[in-house]
Chains A and B, each alone.
Chain A
Amino acid sequence: MKKLLVTGTAIRGLPVVTLDGGEDVAEVRDLIYNPEAGRVLGLTLNKRGFLAGRRREVLPAEAIHAIGRDAVMIDDEDRLSPPEEAPDEVGAPPTGRDVTGNEVLTEGGASLGQVKDVVVLVGSNGEVVGYEIETASGGTGYIPLPNQLAVSGSALVVPDATQDFVEHDLVGLGAAVDDFRSRLGLK
């Protein structure tokens, strides 16, 4: 099945909207990403509106109903939690987790390019299914991710098969994710 995907850049700035109230209670400031797990663990937030500043609360992934193309949906405003009440990984995430700029190397030692952004599955609560990369030739490509990755902080290692699945756009990646995972013997 074709998957609908969205980049991390597109998620930043999305309104956080309550399902029951239809209110935009915050907007996404940034993603708290765990590259080993291939998951967004949570979101940091800004207040909603022009020139509004940072909101202290964070939004753990478990409290997210769905990340969409146009909004991040939550059940109600109580889902936002002060950092000290959130899991440590979200409330006080370790630094050095930013994969942007990391080199993508296959197990066979081929360099596919550098990570520009994460690609998130629309409708999930933060499942990262791929990366946007800048290829060696300077173009933009999209690669699917397996469930587990070796990540060093400067490079990440992907299966050799990834080479065959470098897509030119998100639509292509959406169609390729399942094929890629079944080729790796994942579901």
Chain B
Amino acid sequence: MTAYVIKRVLAAIPVLIFVGLVTFSLVHIAPGDAANIMAGDYAGPDDVKKLRTELGLDKPIAEQFVDWVTRTLRGDLGKSIFSGQSVGQLVKQRLNPTLSLTIGGGLLAVLIGIPLGVVAAWKSDTVVDRIAQVFAALGLAVPGFWLGFILLWMFAVNFRIFPVIGFVSIFDDVGGFLRSVTLPCLLLGITGSASLVRMTRASMLEVFREDFIRTARAKGLGEREVLFRHALRAGAIPIITVIGFLAAGLLTGVVVTETVFTIPGVGRLVAEAVQQRDFPIVQSLLMLLASVYVAVNLLVDIAYAYVDPRVRL
């Protein structure tokens, strides 16, 4: 197991180096002069020049890269060209809402998606299965930002149960916190669970076709026992992999969700930085989110190998 973990961690390093290369190149693949774009339409030549020196864009590219790598490894992620705040500061300020939403939304997605997928496979070709499949098909097709808009319109504008915008920290007011995160978490939960339903159902269907399930039924076990004592145990293993997909869904979902519900989190920061073409922020956030994504997938792989020894070979 230790050997496997080391192997996987080592395999993640070239991926991260590549991620860094892509992230670094972003500024340089911009058509025209990056400093010019960032300075905006109303900047004079002096402003552009100043910004260029500030960002080190006038140095040779190799030197810039080395600078960038050493700074990043030290944890200095650069600062916004608009507010002048460092990325670390900005992310720290905005981490609370984003963590609340991803944890809440992720839990909800798992709680809806996995049981629904298991039941759909267990009762395959029944009404329950059809409902689960329609739910999954709709969840994959309906864009999150539009579904969020509908939720907001129904529960915040019409029934006035939840606030239309904003986020309340759990440390300030628990009731207000719950009301401010319910709709965003519901949105992340619904959109996240759609693919979970599909993948869980598919992997459970495979388990139900296995010989040991037939044996269990043949020796006279009830359906309930077949499901809980045999099928679920074997089926739980492949389901772990869907958590990786869920992580990708949450990372992108949070950008859209925080925009729809006007929540000042990291996702909103991504959207704003991209709109303003605030390159240092875009770069650091891309690097940060991609690293989180790589780390989650690494953990999923290791967890998988832990429960299924065959993978380690």
Q: Are A and B genuine complex partners?
A: no
